Structure 1
Amino acid sequence: MQQHIAIIGAGIGGLSLAWALHKRGARVSLYEQGAIPNPISSSFDEHRITRHTYGGLSGYGALMPLAFRAYEELWRDLGATHYLPTNLLYVARRASDWYEATAGELDAMGIAHRPVSKAEIATRLPMLRQEGIAEAFEAEGAGMLFASRIVTDLARWLAEAGVALHPHSRVSEVDTEAGSFTVNGERRSADVVVIAAGAWLPAIYPAARPRLTPSRQVMLYLQPPVELATAWAAAPVLVDQGVTHGGYILPPRGGTRLKIGDHVFTRRGDGSDNRIATPEDVAAVKTAASEIFEGFERYELLEAKVCYYTVTDDERFVVEPIGARSWLLSACSGHGFKLGPVIASGLADAITGKRDATEVTAWAAGKG
């Protein structure tokens, strides 16, 4: 008998899981409280960084070649490649062993990398402040995933493949033992229920708190000064690690805008909150940007976009069975997009009996 899987949440995790399960012969129903894809979800964004570098979060570097291969499979199915290789430049403005930790992983994977001098940064990347740079390095095997294009095409592929998509379907409660749930006031069931609801996950499954905490984040989209347009058009993706900030910057390439965010989790708010950026939201990222960009006051703020993650203290994926007939799927950090299809493929193998559940839980947490 064909296994019926219900997935709650149509971000990159839920969409990728529906894709992976359908390819394994399961019958899939996908529920999302908004449109599919949902414009207010954190997965609906212009671009996201992907890379092989993962120093400081052990276990995930080894997953990245698998992640790139999973995306190659996805591109074949979608008939389009929504990825632009750019390299990645990492800038440290404080003492750090990040390069040392990362170099070994990159060498093992055969990914080229090199130190970058301040003189080269001044010539090639004049938009960066020189003051305070302790070291920098550049690595290949990195670039930008065009996120909103991916989830849009993936939703289209699922619909054409016959996956049952249920937009505007709010799930309010899940019985993890029975595999049943309430959606828009109606009781439904499946052989297995997967809660992949992002920032809404703790509201649907309260037992996840306080381990999984919604975190309100903001990203700034900017128009750079005219005189820096050429430099930005050739720039790699950037990670700038300061004393109080962990800035990530995506250049305005491939039809996107310049974006900066700060990898400092607020751990406040709720997925049901509005997405209107407040002065408090914007101020922290502006402070980071002023420490990273030379002459930041010359940049025009085009948009301040609020998104939500559900985060854990260790920033590792939570992929685990709950009850007799349910699973949790949560990225627990901003790295969910780059690893979404490969983690979903591992979970699909566990649900369909091809991999051991305990092994997949450890593997998804970078401990397998």
Structure 2
Amino acid sequence: MSQSRGKIFVVGAGIAGLSTAWALTRRGFSVEVFEQGAIPNPRASSYDEHRITRHAYGTLEGYGYLMPRAFALYDELFADIGARHFLPGSVVYFMRDDVDWYEPVSRTMTAMGKRFFDIPLAEVPDRFPMIETDGLTRVVETEEGGMLFPIRILTDLTVWLGNQGVVFHSDARVSDIDPEAGTLVANGQTHRADRIVIAAGAWVNKLTSLVEDVVVPSRQALMYISAPTDMVDAWSKAPVMIDLGTDSGTYTLPPKNGTRLKIGDHVFTRQGDADGDRIATEADLARLNRAARLAYKDFDRYRVLERKICFYTTTRDASEEFQVRPLGSRAWVVSACSGHGFKLGPLIGDGVAAAIAGERSHEDMVRYAAGRMSLEEALALERAGT
């Protein structure tokens, strides 16, 4: 691998950091990754059994327009690591309240040529016997989504990067970053590079104040559960399911490809310290348990296998825009928001690498990552070769 393009430090070995390292390595940069724990780190938000990927983004239409490219870049990553850790399938949305979701989804999915259709409410009990039908107002199925398998992706990507010459610094707690000098201090030792990318997830505000006015860590509860025996077959055939009720809002990933059944909460707490524990308390789970009982029949018959906490960053307002910005003359900050980070990891990482390589303007990258481009603008940027 040629090192003529310079040395880049990446702080954080979650999907954002490793994807950025991947995209930089492909462009001929020398890359070193600093991670405060193991690589991959079981405490990282990225470290999970399965995550949803989809084209339907509700009112966040700009992210919907980015998803075809996001899927394509995952295919490129899978080709490099030699494994396709993705299970394609539909994503089904269950609406119980008057939510502002269908109209923007109809617009974006139609513009992208992606299929979606209503499921008659009368068919729901037979197709989805686990669903609580009381209060349902509409059910919509979208195609070309599915599940990503994060632990497998992170593990194989780490191996690939190491084989390409990327240098890993595990258990390296970064305490100071100088975005003008291109230096960082890890475990008391100073390191120098041409550029630094801060992709520290929920720890970002501990390393820089650049985005602290916009983003905040959010302690989020989820559960891995075991279905009642009479529901096992139904769950084995189930798609990804998202409940959009005001009180019943949940996301659920079925047990596929050796994973467990997982249910999580849509509502952001916007509180907590990322250095805290990863075990959900009864207080953490109170809202999720109430929502699950509204979304699923006889939810009390399910058995909890693991009560888990993960930490995202999310915006202080409701925008959920990625905060990807240049910092000083030699650094970038990459902060995903809510659960979007994993499905868009290679897309954002490739974009930041493109900006560092001079293939894309800083201004375009900031707008792109924030989902502020129309479909036409996003396509034009990709046609330009970036």
Assess same fold via TM > 0.5. Answer: yes
Contact 1:85-1:142 within 8 A present in 2 as well: yes
1:137 pairs with 2:140: yes
- Tell me how far apart the structure 1 counterparts of residues 248 and 295 of structure 2 sit (CA, whole Å): 9
Give unpaired runs (5+ residues) of structure 2: 374-386
> Once the 2 structures are TM-superposed, how far is the Cα of residue 14 of structure 1 from its aligned partner?
0.1
Matches within 5 A, 1:322-333: 322-333=327-338
1:357 match: 362
- Cα shift at 1:285: 1.2
1:89-136 deviation digits (Å, cap 9, x = unpaired): 001110134122212211222211110122211101010100011111
Residue pair 2:222, 2:262 contacting (<8 A) in 1 also: yes
Q: Quote the residue 1:320 is aligned against.
A: 325
Within the alignment, does 1:290 sit opposite 2:293 as a pair? yes
Q: Distance in 2 between matches of 1:316 and 1:338?
A: 14
Structure 1 residue 367 corresponds to structure 2 residue 372: yes
Residue 222 (1) aligns with residue 240 (2): no
Structure 1 consecutive aligned stretches of length 4 or more whose deviation exceeds 3 Å: none
CA shift for structure 1 position 275: 1.3
The size of the alignment, in residue pairs, is: 368
Give the match for residue 96 of structure 1: 99
1:150 aligns to 2:162 (yes or no): no
Which residue type is aligned with residue 353 of structure 2? A
For 1:254, the equivalent position in structure 2 comes to 257
1:32 to 20, 31, 35: 35
Deviations 1:131-188 (A, max 9, x none): 0111110010110001111111111111111101111100011111211111001111
Counterparts of 1:148-297 in structure 2 under 5 Å? 148-297=151-300
1:307 to 302, 306, 310: 310
Residue by residue over 1:27-79, the C-alpha shift from the partner in whole angstroms, topping out at 9 and shown as x without a partner, is 10100000000011110100000001112112111100000000110110011
Tell which deviates more after alignment, 271-280 or 61-70.
271-280
Shift of 1:291: 1.0
CA distance in 2 between partners of 1:122 and 1:145 (Å): 28
Give secondary structure in 1 for the equivalent of 2:61: coil
> Do 2:240 and 2:254's aligned partners in 1 also have CA atoms closer than 8 Å?
yes
> SS of the residue aligned with 2:62?
coil
Amino acid at match of 1:5: I
CA distance in 1, matches of 2:213, 2:323: 13
Q: Would you say the 8 A contact 1:86–1:235 is kept in 2?
A: no
CA distances 1:283-333 after superposition (whole Å, capped 9, x unpaired): 221111111110001000000111101111211111110111111001111
Alignment match, 1:46? 49
In the TM superposition, what is the alpha-carbon distance from 1:276 to its structure 2 partner? 2.1
Identity of aligned residues (%): 50
Say whether residues 1:81 and 2:84 are aligned partners.
yes
Give the conservation status (yes or no) of the 8 Å contact 2:51–2:253. Answer: yes
5+ long unaligned stretches in structure 1: none
Contact 2:16 2:334 in 1 (8 A): yes
Give the alignment's Cα RMSD to 1 decimal.
1.0
SS at structure 2 position matched to 1:59: helix
Mean CA deviation greater in 271-280 or 76-85: 271-280
Is the Cα–Cα contact under 8 Å of residues 50 and 143 in structure 1 kept in the other structure? yes
Q: Distance in 1 between matches of 2:156 and 2:245?
A: 36
Summarize deviations over 1:201-245 as a string: whole Å, max 9, x none: 111113432322111001100100111111111111011011234
Task: Find the aligned partners of 2:38 and 2:30 in 1 and give their Cα distance.
Answer: 21
Contact 1:82 1:145 in 2 (8 A): yes
Note the C-alpha offset of 1:281. Answer: 0.9
Opposite residue 111 of structure 2, the aligned amino acid is A
The alignment partner of 1:130 has SS state of coil
Cα offsets for 1:244-280 (capped at 9, x unmatched): 3431100111111110111111011111111122111
1:333-348 residue pairs with structure 2 within 5 A? Answer: 333-348=338-353
Partners of 1:28 and 1:353 lie apart in 2 by 17
Give the alignment's TM-score, normalised by structure 2. 0.93
Measure, in 2, the Cα distance between the counterparts of 1:120 and 1:31: 51
**CA–CA distance in structure 2, aligned partners of residues 58 and 86 of structure 1:** 21
| Worse-superposed segment, 44-53 or 98-107 | 98-107
Residue type of the alignment partner of 1:216:
R
Query: Partner letter of residue 185 of structure 1?
Result: G
Counterpart CA distance in 2 for 1:186 and 1:246 is 46
Letter of the 1:323 counterpart: G
Letter in 1 for 2:252: I
- Is the contact between residue 248 and residue 295 of structure 2 (CA under 8 Å) also seen in structure 1? no
Q: Is the 8 A contact 1:317 1:364 kept in 2?
A: yes
TM-score by length of 1: 0.98
**Matched residues in 1 for 2:31 and 2:335: separation?**
19
Aligned to 2:380: none
